[in-house]
Amino acid sequence: MPWRGPEVPGEFPTLGYLIGEWIEANCVIPDGLLQGREYRLTDEMWRFLLRYYRLHPDARPIDVAMLEAKLRHPELELPPSPFFYRGGLLMRAQKWGKGPFAASIILGETFGPVSFDGWDDKGEPVGREQPTPWVQIVATAEEQTDNTWLCVYEMASRGEIANTPGIDIGIEDINLPSGGKIEPRSSSGKSRLGARTTFDLFDETGLMLESNGGVHLATTMKRNIGGMRGRWLETTNAYDPSEQSVAQRTHTSPAEDVLIDYRPPSRRPDLRDDQGCLELLDEVYGDSWWVDRRRILADARDPAVCPTPADALRFFFNVLEVGQSSAVDGARWDSKARPGSLVPNELICLGFDGSRALDLTSLIASRVTDGRWFHLRSWKPSEYPDHRVPRVEVDQAVTDAFDAYQVWCMFGDPYRWQEYFDIWEARWPTRLDGKQSTRVIEFPTNVEHRMDDAITRFLEHFAGGFTHDGDPLLAEHAKAAALAKGKRRQPRPNEDPSIPRFFQRIVKKREVANIDAFVAGLLAEAARGQAIEDGALAQRRVVLEGPLMV
């Protein structure tokens, strides 16, 4: 008999009711004053279970007869998965209750009615236990798996599950009489290739990155479980959008058969606003009654707990925010202002960061003698009728700079400006000292090791004698820029090889911010470094007073 059909608008068939009832009947609170008492799901948790275990209305179970027929006739096709979703992502604020909830799902996947077994005579779905469940809790470090694993251990050892005949509940894994098991795992992805798991719980996938092997680990295990017709679930705090974590890849994937359950606040929190923050904490924590909202707000404001506002927004307000430290200290930047202009024929280097229609296009000069930055020009697309940067006008501004000053070289990102870079390279093919080397040098800002070098050079200069012309737009862009971690890099000769090192990246503190003039300044800074290495300071008198002067 098929599913009975919806009795109310929007209803769908699900095993979620059966699994939730099993959890409340068999799982206990793992710790605290109520340790050992019955574990009760919140309404929000119930809603997640109903969606995660949603079934196709025409689902068919797989039975022994089908598998025996498949053995004899491999060309036969088995029914497709009965579940609407093959995996899911649950993204919630810290202390919402993800650990105990995930532990209850793990125990349900091990002992509960999680396998679809057809429809009863009333058209309701029927579930049964997995015959040989193998469940893994996956993270990049053992300490991270403890968040969920210790909840599983306490729930299993203190409740009815401990009375299961033949069960062996150990501190490192749980072995089942069927031959299945529950185990935490944090090894490399390669070592887990071929594991015959039926359910995988990926804990804190916002921390699983390419640099720590987390992406490879997750993709490897998801392929494994796909071959076993199993399912997976990710739990995490809000991720850092600059890190391309497993959580981010899942959240932004176009796949329609992965459940995304993410509750952001209705507006951006202002940490100075007590009442507004408490209202937003009520939104993101929902019916997690154990969370003290005022304590959470105090922690969010405490730099010893959340060193940056981005940390507070991600961990406690469930906001997708770039983890960051400011690229420059705002007050120090202001103190470095030295109003004034370049004079004709000064020896400079240029930095160019271009865009067509989204970001600004900026041209910055760095004086070779002292490294002072000068904002020559920026173009904002929204200020033009077609919302596109006027490329001919930009070309003229670059030409004017080469005509007015002695430009040793220009570093620029060629993205979407390649045709003009070809023109500029041909227009200025010879260095000021007469050597056959173009003064226009492509510097793609997405090449991490080169940008890391440029950022490092700037930070060293900024800590010492750096100055700038005080331009307000350049100041705005510099203060909107943040430092973020990139890919892992090899340690340098003077660095401890046991400490992980990462390339530095420049990112926006806010999605709506602009940092293009600052990026152009970094390129000008890098160009100045190249000029000094080329001997530009030693050649300065010849350049300015000799026959090479234009």
Q: Rounded to whole angstroms, how far apart are CA atoms 296 and 302?
A: 10
The pLDDT tens digits of the residues spanning 337-374 come to: 999 999 999 999 999 999 876 789 999 999 999 999 99
Q: What is the mean pLDDT of the chain?
A: 91
pLDDT at 141: 80
Quick: pLDDT tens for 76-120: 988 899 999 999 999 999 999 999 999 999 999 999 999 999 999
Please tell me which residue, 550 or 200, carries the higher pLDDT value: 200
pLDDT score of 213: 87
Provide the total of helices (H) and of strands (E) in the chain, helices listed first.
Answer: 17, 18
* pLDDT above 50 (res 548): no
**Residue 380 pLDDT > 90, yes or no?**
yes
pLDDT digits (tens, 9 = 90+) for 255-281: 999 999 999 999 999 998 999 999 999
Contact residues for 338 (Cβ-Cβ < 8 A; gap 6+): 372, 467, 468, 469, 470
Alpha-carbon distance values, 148 to 182, 201, 264 (Å): 12, 9, 23
Closest CA to 351 of 328, 334, 376: 376
pLDDT at position 358 is: 77
Pairing of strands 181-185, 174-175: antiparallel
Q: Which residue has the higher pLDDT, 81 or 541?
A: 81
pLDDT of residue 191: 46
Is the model's pLDDT at 238 over the cut of 50?
yes
Quick one: pLDDT at residue 190? 47
Please give the model's pTM, rounded to 2 decimal places: 0.68
Task: Compute the average pLDDT of residues 137-145.
Answer: 84
Q: Which of 454, 469, 464, 463 lies closest to 506 in space, CA to CA?
A: 454
Higher-pLDDT residue of 157 and 550 is: 157
Q: Is-contact 400 344, C-beta < 8 A?
A: no
Per-residue confidence (pLDDT) for residue 228, from 0 to 100: 79
Confidence of residue 498 (pLDDT cuts 50, 70, 90): low
Torsion, CA 349, CA 355, CA 360, CA 366, rounded to 10: -10
Mean pLDDT of 146-163: 93
Mean pLDDT to the nearest integer, 19-42: 96
In this prediction, residue 549 carries a pLDDT of: 35
Q: Which helix (H) or strand (E) holds 527?
A: helix 516-533
- What is the C-alpha separation between 412 and 421, in angstroms, rounded? 8
> Which whole-number Å values give the CA distances from 519 to 187, 441, 461, 502, 508, in the listed order?
39, 15, 15, 19, 11
Q: What tokens were used for 338? A: 């030295």
Write out pLDDT tens, residues 284-337: 999 999 999 999 999 999 878 887 788 899 999 999 987 767 899 999 999 999
pLDDT of 504 > 90? The answer is no
Q: In the prediction, which pLDDT does 188 show? A: 46
Percentage of the residues of the chain whose pLDDT score is greater than 90: 71
DSSP state of 73: -
Higher confidence at residue 541 or residue 73? 73
CA distance 355 to 382: 12
Residue 416 has pLDDT above 90, yes or no: no
pLDDT at 241: 83
| Length of the chain (residues) | 550
pLDDT at 487: 78
What pLDDT sits at residue 530? 95
Q: 347 vs 139, which has greater pLDDT?
A: 347
